[in-house]
Amino acid sequence: MAARVADPESSNGLAAGTITNQPNADYDHDGRSNLIEYAFGTSPVVANDLAPRMPVAQTTATQFVLQYQRDTNLTDLTFTPQACSTLGNWKAPGEVGTPGGFTDVLISTSGSVQTREARVPRTAGNCFIRVCVTRQ
């Protein structure tokens, strides 16, 4: 994260590490943590920067879908789609206790950016889906 965040820090007169060393902080107060801004390509210093890569939830006739994009050049990050029915017991696809039929599918690749969809059949009942981003 240091290489990518160094420019916004120095170009905005911030001390080195202001953003990098505080991944859970929200420097620009737009509701997105510094880590999420980094992961999805928005600026950690410009509030409400356009977010073309932020996850988008949608519902089809048969599925709950969370479409998200990940830049494979960000090798210090792990993107893990998770689902649950209670907002408390999040599970990744294939884990015991995950909603039935929960999958994570690669839709397309453009350069280093993958478009993926985390999907849960509507027959699984009420379901919440998120993408958990962690830094290694």
| Cβ neighbours around 3 below 10 Å, total | 8
pLDDT digits (tens, 9 = 90+) for 80-121: 999 998 888 899 999 998 988 999 999 999 999 999 999 999
Q: Report how far residue 97's alpha carbon sits from residue 4's, in angstroms, rounded to the nearest whole number.
A: 37
Residue type, 80: T
Of the listed ranges 16-25, 63-72, 80-89, the one predicted with least confidence: 16-25
Angstrom distance (rounded) from CA 118 to CA 120: 7
Phi-psi sector, 87: left (phi>0), alpha (psi -120 to 50), beta = left
Which H or E run includes 4?
Answer: helix 2-11
Mean local confidence (pLDDT), 21-46: 88
Question: Residue 124 gets which letter from DSSP?
Answer: G
Q: Which residues pair with 103 in a beta bridge?
A: 119
Pick the more confident residue, 113 or 6: 113
- Please, which pLDDT band fits residue 8 given cuts at 50, 70 and 90? low
CATH architecture classification, 56-135? Sandwich (2.60)
Per-domain residue ranges of the chain? 2-39, 56-135
Do the strands 128-135 and 77-84 form a parallel or antiparallel pair, or are they unpaired?
Answer: antiparallel
Buried b (16+ CB within 10 A) or exposed e, 81-115: bbbbeeeeebbebeeeebbeebebeeeeeeeeebe
pLDDT-based confidence at 50, cuts 50/70/90?
A: confident
Query: pTM here?
Result: 0.84
